[in-house]
Chain A
Amino acid sequence: MINESKRKTWAHPWSYREGTIITATILVLGFIIQAAGNGVILRFAGFPWNLLAGFLFVALLIIAFVLWQKHPVVKGLGGVKVALPAILGFTLLVLLMGFVKQDVEPQSTIARLFGLAHLVHTWPFILINVYLLVLLGIVTLKRFTPFNLKNAGFFLNHFGLFLVLFSTALGSSDMQRLSMNCYEKQTESRGIDASGKMVEVPFTIELIKFNIDEFRPKVTVIDNQSGQIIEEKGKSPLEMLDRNAFDLINYHIEVEQFLETSVKAGDGYVATNEPGSATSAKVKVTDTKSKSEVTGWICSGSFALQPEQLKLSGHYSLVMLPAEPRKFSSELNIRAKGGKSTTTTIEVNRPFKTDGWTIYQLGYDKVMGRWSKLSVLELVRDPWLPVVYFGIFLMMGGAAFLFITGKPKNGGSEHVA
């Protein structure tokens, strides 16, 4: 054992001291460059520059490793004592993201200058990422040569993480995310990107029909004065109208009539399916304390219909809340530039892939609710995705190894450089 405190800094083999100095330098330097650039948010160059940079990085890493793998610096960079401060440094940066709200306008000059509200796009984040990639690259190459099946778990974990970090960083600039507004019976081939720019896609989409399927609405009790939902034990009591009778706080509620879609007619409601119709119910409410009874209609309302509440007493009223969507979907006809046309239905969690693009169901006109003629789609093109997924699957393999084999016996003494 070398006496750690007597060893001079930068004398080999490197330890925590050197690892910490490198990591701290990278972070401080990163923030200085960020501030010197007046807090400008960084974007990577897109294809082909990112691909070129990636190739160059990997090539340089391999060449450096082949030439100097016995050099103490390379050995040091491949060791746990340099890796740990790097992991910690990266963790600190992510911790900062955990406390400062991201992707918003920075609140203070300091936050703006150092890019604290967009940390992913700042110099310190990118530099520490590159540094981690160097360390992961070296350690992967070190374990890979000579090849030994015993190192499979190690390889999967480290190379998998390398691939995921590498491809997400480089691929971010090639990823396109567009939001597209489709109206029923109309065709559209342009979407809007995050910066508000209109982008043409290589196919046209016709929205044949937008469908929405809702949960039964919930009822609750509000205070007549404030209009707020009353609270009981710090929570808002809600009950779904999917049964004929139920209890809510000290009220027993019996549903005498339930109309999924209806319009107001005189004192009550009648079933109809015309646009703007809303859910209504005739209920009998018994106050279990005073035994008094009230009967009347409640209605959740829509863009065309006033909501209706039922007065229970001078203080409280029963209200029906707008129904929450269970499922919404869009029936689409997609026509490629070549003339090939496909009809498909997409919904949340069920996107459709075509021409390198994936089409997601994003939203609809919330004011119109179930009568929305608008379907908002998200179109995503992410050419680096296969590499990211390959990395993810390697990491899953690595995780399986950790589960099966557990901690290496004798600590790491066999492998440590």
Chain B
Amino acid sequence: MEDLNMWLEFPVFASIAIACWLAASGLFFTSGKKLMNDLAAALSLAGILVLLIFVVNLWMHIHRPPMRTLGETRLWYAIFLSGIGLVSYLRWKYKWLVSYSLGLAILFLIINLQHPETYDKTLMPALQSPWFIPHVIVYIFAYAMLGASSVVALRNLFFVPTEKTVKGPIQMADNLVYIGFSFLTFGLLFGALWAKEAWGHYWTWDPKETWAFITWMFYLIYIHYRYRHPMEHKKAMGVLAIAFLVLLICWFGVNYLPSAQNSVHVYSE
């Protein structure tokens, strides 16, 4: 095992997970029977477990948490998204949400298959901290929650014609945003506490920090808007869609912004 690059094994794990999820989505869509739905849920879970096994193996193999490169964060995103989809199905029985989440998770796996990561075991000293894992896990969980909420938003914007039918799904979006936003806040504050330990200051307006803050502000706007205008569903969903766009810039786009050269937060490729 010593000489094996774990990423070489990735296509096998990813294919199994994708196959499980495709089958699960198919079953969710085509059948109304309880047995078939249970089978679909079990298949979703199987896909998640396969991916988890890969991540745990990878973690042990590279002797550092696999949270440093964009490819590694996409792995976690796929796990959390599919997990949230499954849990929300078990909790609220939204079949379309679990299918959407699985679809997005599959997309992230395909991106990883297209752009295999190079094999990098080094972790710079500043990242060797007990704060590293909670900071990244909490953030990715928040992103996955907010990603799922924007799926709800887009569905409401384009596929739900009237204000009336949107009521149930919008509560779902609110639930996801509240949970996602609380994790976003934790991620931001953990980052501040860690930065104080590592760099001597809790906030330096580093471009990633700036964009993380902008993202946080947009979800803050959504929460306040929903709170004040509980009946304006479509507009609220519009705000949510924009907020997710900002989140995506924060996550991927910052690497390419001219303002972000030399940021400690830029993911290595």
Q: What size tier do the contact residues of chain B reach? A: 35 or more
Which chain B residue shows the least CB distance to A81?
B228
Partner of A94, one of B198, B214, B227, B269: B214
CB distance from A106 to the nearest CB of B (A): 13
Q: What size tier do the contact residues of chain A reach? A: 35 or more
Is residue A200 contacting chain B, with contact meaning CB distance below 8 A?
A: no
- Residues in chain A near residue B115, CB distance under 8 A: 233
Contact stretch, chosen from B99-107, B154-162, B173-181: B173-181
- Residues in chain A near residue B181, CB distance under 8 A: 399, 402
Q: Is the CB of A327 within 8 A of B128?
A: yes
Task: Knowing A84-B224, A235-B269, A392-B193 are in contact, say whether A243-B174 is a contact too (CB < 8 A).
Answer: no
- Residues in chain A near residue B126, CB distance under 8 A: 348-349
Residue pairs across A and B with Cβ atoms less than 8 A apart, 20 shown, are A91-B221, A94-B217, A98-B210, A102-B205, A102-B259, A177-B200, A215-B122, A240-B122, A324-B122, A327-B128, A348-B125, A358-B200, A382-B201, A399-B186, A406-B175, A406-B179, A407-B175, A407-B223, A408-B227, A411-B227
Q: Mark interface residues in A380-417 (1 if CB within 8 Å of B CB, else 0).
A: 10100100110010011011101100111011110010
Partner of B200, one of A95, A351, A396: A351
Q: Is the CB of A396 within 8 A of B186?
A: yes
Q: Is the CB of A98 within 8 A of B214?
A: yes
Residues of A80-139 whose CB lies within 8 A of B: 80-81, 83-84, 87-88, 90-91, 94-95, 97-103, 120
Is residue B267 contacting chain A, with contact meaning CB distance below 8 A?
A: no
CB distance from B202 to the nearest CB of A (A): 7
CB distance from A378 to the nearest CB of B (A): 5
Q: Is the CB of B118 within 8 A of A392?
A: no
Task: Knowing A98-B214, A378-B200, A396-B185 are in contact, say whether A215-B121 is a contact too (CB < 8 A).
Answer: yes
Which chain B residue shows the least CB distance to A324?
B122
Is residue B258 contacting chain A, with contact meaning CB distance below 8 A?
A: yes
Is residue A168 contacting chain B, with contact meaning CB distance below 8 A?
A: yes
CB distance from B139 to the nearest CB of A (A): 13
Q: Mark interface residues in B53-91 (1 if CB within 8 Å of A CB, else 0).
A: 000000000000000000000000000000000000000
Is residue A237 contacting chain B, with contact meaning CB distance below 8 A?
A: yes
Residue in B125, B217, B220 whose Cβ sees the most chain A Cβ within 10 Å: B125
Is residue A245 contacting chain B, with contact meaning CB distance below 8 A?
A: yes
Is residue B225 contacting chain A, with contact meaning CB distance below 8 A?
A: yes
Is residue B197 contacting chain A, with contact meaning CB distance below 8 A?
A: yes
Q: Is the CB of B207 within 8 A of A98?
A: yes
Q: Is the CB of A91 within 8 A of B198?
A: no
Is residue A360 contacting chain B, with contact meaning CB distance below 8 A?
A: yes
Report which A residues bind B (CB closer than 8 A): 80-81, 83-84, 87-88, 90-91, 94-95, 97-103, 120, 168, 175, 177, 215, 218, 233, 235-240, 242-246, 324-328, 347-351, 358, 360, 378, 380, 382, 385, 388-389, 392, 395-396, 398-400, 402-403, 406-408, 410-413, 416
How far, in whole Å, are A242 and B213 apart by their CA atoms in the complex?
Answer: 40
Task: Knowing A120-B205, A243-B2, A392-B192 are in contact, say whether A411-B226 is a contact too (CB < 8 A).
Answer: yes
Task: Knowing A392-B193, A402-B178 are in contact, say whether A98-B230 is a contact too (CB < 8 A).
Answer: no
Residue in A84, A98, A402 whose Cβ sees the most chain B Cβ within 10 Å: A98
- Residues in chain B near residue A378, CB distance under 8 A: 200
- Residues in chain A near residue B2, CB distance under 8 A: 243
Q: Is the CB of A399 within 8 A of B228?
A: no
Partner of B125, one of A242, A326, A400: A326
How far, in whole Å, are A95 and B174 apart by their CA atoms in the complex?
Answer: 25
- Residues in chain B near residue A120, CB distance under 8 A: 205
How far, in whole Å, are A103 and B209 apart by their CA atoms in the complex?
Answer: 14
CB distance from A142 to the nearest CB of B (A): 15
Task: Knowing A87-B217, A102-B205, A235-B269 are in contact, say whether A325-B182 is a contact too (CB < 8 A).
Answer: no
Q: Is the CB of A235 within 8 A of B258?
A: no
Q: Is the CB of A80 within 8 A of B224?
A: yes
Task: Knowing A348-B126, A416-B228 are in contact, say whether A235-B118 is a contact too (CB < 8 A).
Answer: yes
Is residue B13 contacting chain A, with contact meaning CB distance below 8 A?
A: no
Q: Mark interface residues in B184-219 (1 if CB within 8 Å of A CB, else 0).
A: 011001001100111111110101001101100110
Residue in B178, B200, B201, B205 whose Cβ sees the most chain A Cβ within 10 Å: B200
- Residues in chain B near residue A385, CB distance under 8 A: 196
Residue in A80, A99, A244, A348 whose Cβ sees the most chain B Cβ within 10 Å: A348
Q: Is the CB of A242 within 8 A of B121?
A: yes
CB distance from B156 to the nearest CB of A (A): 16
CB distance from A186 to the nearest CB of B (A): 23
CB distance from A352 to the nearest CB of B (A): 11
How far, in whole Å, are A364 and B182 apart by their CA atoms in the complex?
Answer: 39
Q: Is the CB of A406 within 8 A of B125?
A: no
Which chain A residue shows the least CB distance to B249?
A98
